[in-house]
Amino acid sequence: MNTTEFRIVMRIFVVSVFLLVLYLIYPFIDVIALSCAFAYMGKPIYDGTRRYFGKSTAALISLLIFIIPTVVAGILVLRDLAAFILQANIQSTINSLNSILNKMSDHQLGYISYINESTMIQNILLHIWTYLEPHIKALAFQVMSLPIVFIKVLVIIFLTYYLLKDGDVIREVILSHVPEEYYQKTKLFLDKLNESYKNLFIGNALTSIVIGIVAGIGYYILNVPNAFLLAVLTGIFALLPIVGSWTIYIPLTFYYILIGDVVKGIEIFAFGSVFLSLLPDFIIRPHIVKNESNIHPSLVLIAFLMGPLTFGFGGFAIGPLIIGAFDAICRINLEKRSKNEENNKTI
């Protein structure tokens, strides 16, 4: 066997091993994606404790303080929410909405007087539910598969630990295999990729968790039923631009006003406006992400809303990973174009 033949055989062998690895990890791609997401969300704690305790201990502290409680609480809430979704009856929900609208009409609210027996709203809700039902129930079935979920949770915890501890090593390993002529471009791409992921996971996901905690405390103090579940939903909706946490506290406000408890309705509105809308945008998010670069809201919406509908529960992490890579590529191309335009003006 000559040198050329040996190189061909080795390349075939390397490609085969790479493909087999992909085949091996494919069923757990959601686990790997979630581990990356949790590693980024736990990185602020890791960076803050690493200087005092070293890599291994700092990664363990991040797991104990933030990641493990978040995973456990999330699984418990998702299990209860999944059970509710699987047993949900959309027609009864529409009937309840109709009774509320009729009650609002009885109070002479003119802006809905044109609704005739709420037919239009019924049709809209039914069409939306017809489209979303298979996706939502598929997510619910995934969450209800508890034995598989338990195994995946353990893998997520271990992978997150090693990603926190050895994440910088992974970057160096990738760069060590890059040809010299592509080294700077690859390094720039990895830097932009890291920046995009920090904005998506730290800036949005971690902020939504803080909002969920604040919401839970507020709902509990205000004696709102199902405060914990509502807090989790508030945190999830806080991930999404335009949608936001107001989609929870505004309906709650109207509900209490409609049933005659105007004071509680005003209290919920005031609490939500200050602590769930203004505080996150002006204090929490800027404190968590201390750079000026932000992901465009449309990309955030695609990442955190369309990701789960396309990839299932793991889409909460797979979506942002894909969109983060797309954002990094776009940023590099935009910066390259800007530099070329500046050079042309100089010339």
**What DSSP line would sit under 312-337, residue for residue?**
-TTHHHHHHHHHHHHHHHHHHHHHHH
Q: What pLDDT is stored for residue 225 in this prediction?
A: 82
Q: Are 160 and 67 in contact (CB under 8 A)?
A: yes
Q: What pLDDT is stored for residue 113 in this prediction?
A: 45
The radius of gyration of the chain's CA atoms, rounded to the nearest angstrom, is: 24
Q: What pLDDT is stored for residue 144 in this prediction?
A: 54
Q: What pLDDT is stored for residue 243 in this prediction?
A: 65
Q: What pLDDT is stored for residue 112 in this prediction?
A: 44
Which segments of the chain have a pLDDT < 70?
1, 73-149, 240-243, 285-294, 313, 344-347
Half-sphere exposure of 330 (CA within 13 A, CB side): 11
Q: What pLDDT is stored for residue 255 in this prediction?
A: 82
Question: How confident is the model over 335-346, as pLDDT tens digits?
Answer: 777 777 777 666
| Region class of 223: left (phi > 0), else alpha (psi between -120 and 50), else beta | left
Contacts of 92 (CB under 8 A, 6+ apart): none
